Amino acid sequence: MDVTIRKATNADAAGISAIWEIIVAERKFSAVRRAWSADEQVAYLNRLSAREATFVADAGDRIVAFQTLDRWVIYPSFMDHVGQLGTFVLPEWRGQRVGQRLAHAMFAFTRSHEYQKLVIWVRESNTAAQQFYARLGFRECGRLSRQLMINDSYDGEVLMERFL
């Protein structure tokens, strides 16, 4: 089945929240500890500025993946040209270029909204996501050790950047 890549609306909030539930339950891929409810997701979407967006992959009957773009910081700053991404694909849809298609749509959006650079944080143990971003042209530029504590285990965070 093919997917349509498009900008999210408030009507997608429940679908995005359902994906978060699964990602959070996996515990391996994100620093997020609790999924936002659909209402919290709507509040987040409504808080976004015109330069920020969530893109979704729509399979017709449900949302199967999404990618977020947020400004690096929300206060006016000399880092306004920097954005940060996050990408989340349902398990059964991984490895089918859905993430790559979301990223290409997002790159077009960022170029037309005055970004020059994108940054992502990826968990140190999440080497699949590091390879995904490397394939998109991101390069590692830093690490934070013991940045996450999950029960009694630590994980680090890898910082990656890509100039547009």
Ligand X SMILES: CC(C)(COP(=O)(O)OP(=O)(O)OC[C@H]1O[C@@H](n2cnc3c(N)ncnc32)[C@H](O)[C@@H]1OP(=O)(O)O)[C@@H](O)C(=O)NCCC(=O)NCCS
* Residue numbers at the binding site for ligand X (CB under 6 A): 23, 29-30, 86-89, 94-100, 120, 122, 126, 128-129, 131-132, 135
Total Cβ atoms within 10 A of residue 81: 15
Residue number, 48 or 159, with CB nearest to ligand X: 159
Q: Check: CB of residue 103 under 8 Å from CB of residue 150.
A: no
Residue number, 2 or 39, with CB nearest to ligand X: 2
Angstrom distance (rounded) from CA 8 to CA 66? 8
Comparing every residue's Cβ against ligand X, the nearest one is 99
The residues, ordered by sequence, that sit 6+ positions from 150 with a Cβ below 8 Å of its Cβ are 27
CB of 30 to ligand X, least distance (A): 6
CB of 160 to ligand X, least distance (A): 9
One-letter amino acid for residue 16 of the chain: I
